[in-house]
């Protein structure tokens, strides 16, 4: 996630705000960071399955269905990148050839189509990295991939989108469309892979610093696709004979440890080495659906890429479904529908700056689609290994708990983006007639979900969680290789690890056989950073990075978010253990 740097000071001035503004009265009178949302400890969760009126039980056998619906933009025009900087300049020509991007004289040209010759650049503004990055073509499809779990009167859908993020208001719109179909779905979890090679769905990466890149019609298309995928998955529901779930240690696959497929760009070096996999089998032994879980930014082709692509999840899912083929080896896939679920991607889990070595001995160091395919295939094979060595469960049970929470928006930049409508988001718990400040800080509403399916416990997180909040690793136990220190010895501004929080950390507190954090679950509110290492620039906070590794602070709601999510998740976990999990 990346916020345009130039836009925000100008917006603040236009709103009568400044980076040193301490507020002008209007104490909201609400507990800091929580607003009016209740915790599970106080009132019980907002939705409980089994237990709520619409899902009183989860009796009998589990059924599962899966489906996928493409969400690749189908109408946009290409352009000429004359200077090769992957950034559209006003003096660079766009090809005014309409939705199909076929110009007169091109092979297959059948005549003018929508938008052709109208003098308007119909662009898809690509998310991530920076502004003014319109797509030129499509390498592979983006998808809405759904899995539906059904047991007794409980029916839960999980949908993964190949998008940079999907705000909760759009998630709510998608849920409303599912409800309108009369599918008896009690809850829909919508998460994003955080792909940096698809359309701007958040408003941060448009044609200029003060223009959103969001196409409302495309958002509507995505919410339609969510509903369509859920409907098809419900139609595909089949009794589960058994499920298999397990995990593998990515660091054991290469002499480089994890650094054949991922690295961490911010101290401390903490990488969750565990890659999870699961598969659901019907009575005939066919795979209905498979899942892969790992925490990594899908940005492996970098900002120089101008092709729409789902990045490494494309090859990962292909491998799980159809198998892999190298020059020296091959293996079969599972069939069914494969779904990649991203984990704790913050601070900064990425495939950039990684040389990928494949089983044939090829080393891929340039940012190309071939390198991304190799990375995704390797990760897909690891997911197959996780399933092959996993635990068999013949009677999986299904539970869900949902809690609404509110988080304070301390970041001046995000305040400006929200208040100007560049990001359309309702704000709560502040006096809009008064200046925003420490005593009048707005909040946004989001949610946490706990879903359990057999041995897997999922916890949705509404943003990009730093992995150290999930697994710890401040002691150097999760650097991904014994040759890599927890702190870069060349870092002039290292974090003070003596101030780092003590465990147990989120994954351990979730418990169970497998604990999977769903990153960007039902929302995308930026980086979720440990408070001890949340450092702002002294002179231009929120816009300039503080010395050291502090880029993520400029793209975070604020310093309180991690602790609030931690506390609210603890509350939801405590209630769920007592009332659903029987612990």
pLDDT tens digits, one per residue of 164-182: 999 999 999 999 999 999 9
**Which residues make beta-bridge pairs with 94?**
79
One DSSP character per residue, 461-480 reads -SSEE-HHHHH--TTSTTSS
482 Cβ neighbours under 8 A, 6+ residues apart: 257
Low-confidence winner among 44-53, 84-93, 354-363 (lowest mean pLDDT): 84-93
pLDDT-based confidence at 43, cuts 50/70/90? confident
Strand 154-161 relative to strand 187-192: parallel, antiparallel, unpaired?
parallel
pLDDT for res 207: 92
pLDDT greater at residue 33 or residue 486: 486
What's the pLDDT tens digit per position in 523-576?
999 999 999 999 999 999 999 999 999 999 999 999 999 999 999 999 999 999
Alpha helices in 236-351 (DSSP H): 312-322
One DSSP character per residue, 242-265 reads EEEEEEEEGGGGSTTGGGGT-EE-
The span from the CA of 321 to the CA of 383, in Å, is 11
Mean pLDDT estimate for the chain:
93
DSSP state of 546: P
pLDDT-based confidence at 3, cuts 50/70/90? low
pLDDT-based confidence at 22, cuts 50/70/90? very low
pLDDT for res 42: 72
pLDDT for res 38: 62
φ/ψ of residue 192, rounded to 5: -120, 145
pLDDT for res 97: 96
* Cα distances (Å, whole numbers) of residue 552 to 138, 267, 347, 417: 29, 12, 7, 17
pLDDT for res 407: 99
**Which residues make beta-bridge pairs with 68?**
145
What would the mean pLDDT of 380-392 be, rounded to a whole number? Answer: 99
Asked whether residue 20 carries a pLDDT value surpassing 50, the answer given is: no
Contact (CB, 8 A) for 516 and 189 = no
Asked whether residue 32 carries a pLDDT value surpassing 60, the answer given is: no
The span from the CA of 81 to the CA of 137, in Å, is 13
What's the pLDDT tens digit per position in 256-305?
999 999 999 999 999 999 999 999 999 999 999 999 999 999 999 999 99
Closest-CA residue to 186 (of 55, 46, 61): 55
Helix 7-14 and helix 412-420, axial crossing angle in degrees, nearest 10: 70
What's the pLDDT tens digit per position in 449-467?
999 999 999 999 999 999 9
What would the mean pLDDT of 66-91 be, rounded to a whole number? Answer: 95
pLDDT for res 373: 98
pLDDT-based confidence at 209, cuts 50/70/90? confident
The span from the CA of 315 to the CA of 184, in Å, is 33
Closest-CA residue to 417 (of 525, 523, 559, 551): 525
Closest-CA residue to 559 (of 428, 436, 411, 445): 411
* Cα distances (Å, whole numbers) of residue 215 to 48, 206, 339, 520: 35, 10, 26, 20
The span from the CA of 538 to the CA of 531, in Å, is 17
| Three-state DSSP class for residue 204 | coil
Closest-CA residue to 514 (of 271, 247, 273): 247
């Amino acid at each position: 996630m990346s916020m345009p740097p130039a836009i925000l000071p100008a917006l603040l001035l236009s709103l009568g705000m400044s980076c040193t503004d301490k507020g002008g009265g209007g104490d909201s009178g609400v507990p800091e960071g929580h607003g009016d949302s209740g915790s599970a400890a106080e009132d019980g969760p907002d939705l409980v399955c089994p237990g709520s009126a619409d899902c009183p039980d989860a009796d009998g056998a589990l059924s599962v269905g899966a489906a996928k619906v493409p969400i690749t933009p189908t109408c946009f025009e290409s352009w000429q990148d004359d200077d090769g900087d992957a950034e559209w300049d006003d003096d660079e020509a766009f090809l005014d050839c309409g939705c199909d991007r076929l110009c007169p004289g091109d092979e297959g040209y059948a005549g003018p189509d929508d938008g052709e010759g109208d003098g308007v650049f119909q662009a898809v503004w690509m998310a991530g990295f920076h502004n003014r990055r319109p797509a030129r073509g499509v390498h592979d499809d983006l998808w809405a991939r759904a899995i539906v779990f059904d047991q007794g009167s409980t029916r839960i859908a999980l949908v993964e989108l190949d998008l940079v993020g999907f705000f909760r208001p759009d998630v709510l719109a998608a849920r409303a469309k599912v409800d309108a179909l009369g599918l008896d779905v009690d809850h829909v979890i919508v998460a994003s892979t955080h792909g940096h090679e698809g359309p701007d769905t958040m408003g941060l990466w448009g044609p200029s610093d003060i223009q959103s890149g969001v196409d409302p019609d495309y958002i509507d298309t995505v919410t339609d696709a969510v509903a369509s995928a859920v409907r098809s998955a419900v139609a595909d529901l089949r009794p589960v004979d058994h499920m298999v779930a397990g995990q593998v240690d990515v660091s054991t696959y290469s002499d480089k440890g994890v650094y054949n497929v991922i690295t961490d760009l911010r101290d401390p070096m903490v990488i969750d080495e565990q890659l999870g996999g699961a598969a659901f089998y019907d009575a005939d032994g066919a795979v209905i659906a498979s899942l892969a879980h790992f925490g990594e930014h899908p940005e492996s082709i970098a900002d120089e890429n101008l092709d729409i692509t789902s990045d490494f999840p494309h090859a990962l899912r292909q491998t799980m479904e159809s198998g892999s083929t190298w020059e020296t080896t091959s293996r079969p896939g599972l069939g069914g529908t494969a779904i990649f679920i991203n984990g704790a991607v913050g601070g900064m889990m990425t495939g950039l700056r990684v040389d990928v070595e494949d089983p044939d001995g090829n080393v891929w160091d340039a940012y190309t689609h071939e390198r991304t395919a190799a990375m995704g295939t390797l990760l897909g094979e690891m997911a197959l290994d996780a399933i092959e060595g996993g635990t068999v469960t013949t009677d999986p049970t299904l539970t869900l708990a949902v809690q609404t929470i509110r988080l304070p928006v301390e970041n001046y930049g995000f305040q400006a983006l929200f208040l100007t409508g560049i990001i359309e988001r309702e704000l709560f718990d502040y006096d809009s007639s008064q200046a925003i400040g420490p005593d009048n800080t707005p909040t946004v509403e989001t949610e946490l979900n706990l879903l359990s399916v057999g041995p897997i416990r999922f916890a949705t997180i509404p943003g990009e969680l730093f992995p150290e909040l999930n697994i710890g690793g401040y002691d150097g136990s999760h650097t991904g290789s014994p040759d890599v220190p927890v702190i870069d010895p060349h870092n002039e501004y290292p974090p003070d690890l003596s101030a780092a929080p003590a465990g147990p950390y989120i994954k351990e507190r979730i418990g169970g056989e497998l604990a999977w954090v769903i990153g960007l679950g039902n929302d995308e509110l930026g980086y979720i950073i440990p408070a001890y290492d949340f450092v702002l620039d002294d002179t231009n906070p929120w816009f300039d990075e503080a010395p050291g590794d502090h880029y993520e602070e400029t793209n975070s709601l604020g310093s309180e978010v991690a602790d609030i999510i931690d506390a609210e998740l603890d509350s939801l976990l405590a209630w769920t253990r007592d009332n659903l999990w029987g612990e």
